[in-house]
Amino acid sequence: MPKFKKARFLTFIFFILIGLIIWGAIGIFNNNFNVTSLWGLGIGCSLALIFNIIMLGRSFGYLKALITVSAITLTVTLALILNSKRGWPFGMAFYHSILGWKILGVAWPIPIFWSSIITGTLMLKKPTAINTDFKLLFSWAFDSALITMIIAFIIEPLAKAMIITTWPVQGAILGVPFSAFLGWFITSFIATIVGILVLQPWKKSTIPPLWLLPLAFLSLTLLTLILATKLNLTLLQIFSAILIIFFMLKTLRFRNHQNPKLIT
């Protein structure tokens, strides 16, 4: 596929994602939250994963990007299935059927959503110059996992408030146990390591991701702020506001180092 067609396709997917977020925000303002509010979530998560594959493919090649995202998705899915059976690494949780059909007890959009988040943080924290230094690779995986865990501090309580997930044992963060957030750090760290080993970035010089990537994260956190406001969850409003500032600064930083055009 010619370069300009790939760029247009990436832009097309991005604007569909933004459109879904705007549509969701309007629906949240105008109606009470119910099962019909979630029918587009699976579509949005799937598009986000495709968006990440194309973004990752720009740096490492599209075949390697597809294998990497598949490996990350498999890692996340196995962790969620293990948790549904053993209550580890996230703690005992039950996923309701509000999101659609399940894979061994896990609603199918959940691993896709978190795989999109983890793949996005993998690219977001990618060093500008990479080598085989173990400390640098560890730092890359650690930072990506840390951002994923911070996002989980918003997503997991929202999922509980929207009756997507039920926690039998009430935890400290709006009813969600701390094990859920630690579990996402561990899972993200392992998935990121898997992704790095597949990508083998030390073998090829890479280009930085487009500023569309942090902008997509910024759009997601704006939606979580709206959800938290609708559900009157003050703590999540604060968490969302902090992440909005973080991703806004990231977007400006990425844009300042790239061509001001949307796609280069």
Q: Is residue 19 part of a domain?
A: yes
- Where b means 16+ CB within 10 Å and e means fewer, 231-242 reads bebeebbebbee
Single-letter amino acid, residue 63: L
Establish if 220 belongs to a structural domain: no
Q: What's the structural domain count of the chain?
A: 1
In a domain, 176, yes or no: yes
**Is the pLDDT score of 106 beyond 80?**
yes
Does some domain include residue 54?
yes
Listed residue (207, 184, 6) closest to 110, CA to CA: 184
Produce one character per residue of 132-154: b if its CB has 16 or more CB atoms within 10 Å, e if not: eeeeebeebbebbbebbbbbbbb
Q: What tens digit of pLDDT does each residue of 115-145 get?
A: 999 999 999 998 877 667 788 889 999 999 9
214 found inside a domain: no
Q: Is the pLDDT of residue 31 over 80?
A: no
How many Å apart are CA 65 and CA 57, to the nearest integer?
A: 5
**pLDDT of residue 236 exceeding 90:** yes
Q: Which residues contact 65 (CB under 8 A, 6 or more apart)?
A: 53, 54, 56, 57
pLDDT at 205 over 90: no
pTM (predicted TM-score) = 0.89
pLDDT of residue 65: 94
Let me know if residue 236 belongs to a domain: no
Q: Is the pLDDT of residue 182 over 90?
A: yes
Query: What's the number of CA atoms in the CB half-sphere (13 Å) around residue 55?
Result: 27
* Euclidean distance between CA atoms 117 and 28, whole angstroms: 22
What pLDDT was estimated at residue 258? 65
Confidence of residue 25 (pLDDT cuts 50, 70, 90): low
Range of the domain at 196: 3-205
Tally the C-alpha atoms within 13 A of residue 59's C-alpha that lie toward its C-beta: 26
Residue 139 lies in a domain: yes
What is the tens place of the pLDDT at every residue in 57-71? 888 889 999 999 999
Provide the phi-psi class of 175: left if phi over 0, else alpha when psi is between -120 and 50, else beta.
Answer: left
User: Would residue 107 count as lying in a domain?
Assistant: yes
Residue-wise pLDDT tens digits, 154-177: 999 999 988 888 888 888 889 999
Displacement of CA 235 from its chain's centroid (Å): 20
